[in-house]
Amino acid sequence: MGVNVAPGFFAPQETPAAPLPPWQRAPEQLSATRGVEPLDPAAPLPLPGKLAAQLDAALKPDGGGNFTAVVQDALSGDVLYERDGGKNRVPASNMKLLTAVAALRSIGPETRFSTQVLAGAKPSIVVLRGGGDVLLAAGRSAPEEVMGRAGLATLAADTIAALAKQGVKGPLSVQLDDSLFTGPALNPAWSLEDVDAGETAPLFPLAMNGGRDVPGTVGGPRPKDAALDAAQAFTARLKAAGAAAGITVRTAVVRAKAHADAEVLAAVESATVRQQVDLMLETSDNYLAEVLGRMASLASGGAGSNDGATAAVRTQLGQLGIDTVSMRLSDVSGLSLANRVTTRQFAEVVRAITSGPDTRLRAALAGFPVAGLTGTLDDRYVDASTASGAGLVRAKTGTLNSVIALSGYVVDADGRLLVFSFIGNGLTPGAAGNKVALDRAASALASCGCR
């Protein structure tokens, strides 16, 4: 009996896992089906004084630095709270909100990017031309996906089918046309340490997996030549597809520009710009943001370069009536420390997305991460001081070494839609309390019945 009982006293005891917060648990039963009612324009506005008392208590840096902030009523545009809202700040990845607006306005939410195979100068040559899709899959197209909607295996099979109809036998050579983008592939304003860490990589108008070797990977080195990697993957699949049709394919790939009037042999289409913008915002994808910025420039007649991208962002915001004179735009992903944007400008951008007259911008709403649930906010809003914002706050995050930002929207306890932007600069690197400060401020907006 002692032998049987003893392990109960002396065996290591496992620490029970912390229970999931209620909003992250699977529901025990389905809720009754009901429609979502529109917001009531007569819902009361928060009183600025009471709102300020809550936000001033929350927006305190953990160590050095300071926060700037703006809160607006989305419907009227009334400023309900402001702390140095006109002061230029390093915004980190909140820059992607500006890029989203530029892409949706200049390219269009339902536009897709085409990756094509064109006939070369000789029947034995085909040209793989990039059209801006950097979410290509190596395998077959997956029409229901965003990452990998267009697949190189499908493109290769369709190319072989077209060549077989023309009686081409090979040996076939593949050329790569990635001339859509111009200027430096790497922005000189980016830290090489960030590049080495995989925060971004040299930019090309075609790439697999968002410019990564493996889809869904976070961090770590990225391909140095994503376009050539995609072309080599395409060639391997072309060779496999050609073997069954009696068409031989050489493995070497060289760069060459396709003729303007070249015949299109096959093509695959990307996910829509709407879907790509949502993916960019939810995951804060730097590579995709920079590509969308260049595509926005090209769509409006500019160059497919970094300068073209920043100019396109500035132009599109200006056309919305947002003052851009003070802005300093060094990139469109937010990696550069040379960017300067105010919280007032970000609040106006979020207001344009939620409530402005250009309804194309509503396409970005689904991409804002949801507090405690999705994207870059999925592991936040889990303690008692921020729980009131979980599932309610939707906001774009931003983080650099001494920078933190949060800009988004929330419906308060009285049913009023509020837009906000909070940015901290000069902060103590790694200080955990700064994220919590922003989350507490946003949670205060969600629970506010500040009347």
In the chain the first and final C-alpha atoms are separated, in Å, by 68
Beta carbons of 256 and 130 less than 8 angstroms apart:
no
Using CA atoms, how far apart are residues 368 and 380, in angstroms rounded to an integer?
14
Using CA atoms, how far apart are residues 219 and 217, in angstroms rounded to an integer?
7
Find the catalytic residue in 96, 106, 141, 421: 96
* 284 classed as catalytic: yes
Using CA atoms, how far apart are residues 250 and 408, in angstroms rounded to an integer?
51
In 3-state terms, the chain is what percent helix, strand and coil (to 5)?
A: 35, 20, 45
Find the catalytic residue in 141, 284, 297, 305: 284
Using CA atoms, how far apart are residues 28 and 353, in angstroms rounded to an integer?
35
In eight-state DSSP terms, residue 199 is S
* 96 classed as catalytic: yes
Round the CA-based radius of gyration of the chain to a whole number and report it.
25
Beta carbons of 352 and 322 less than 8 angstroms apart:
yes
Using CA atoms, how far apart are residues 131 and 136, in angstroms rounded to an integer?
11
What is the phi/psi pair of residue 134, to 5°?
-110, 15
Distances (CA, A) of 327 to 73, 91, 111, 340, 360: 23, 11, 28, 6, 24
Beta carbons of 248 and 240 less than 8 angstroms apart:
no
Q: Which residues are catalytic?
A: 93, 96, 284
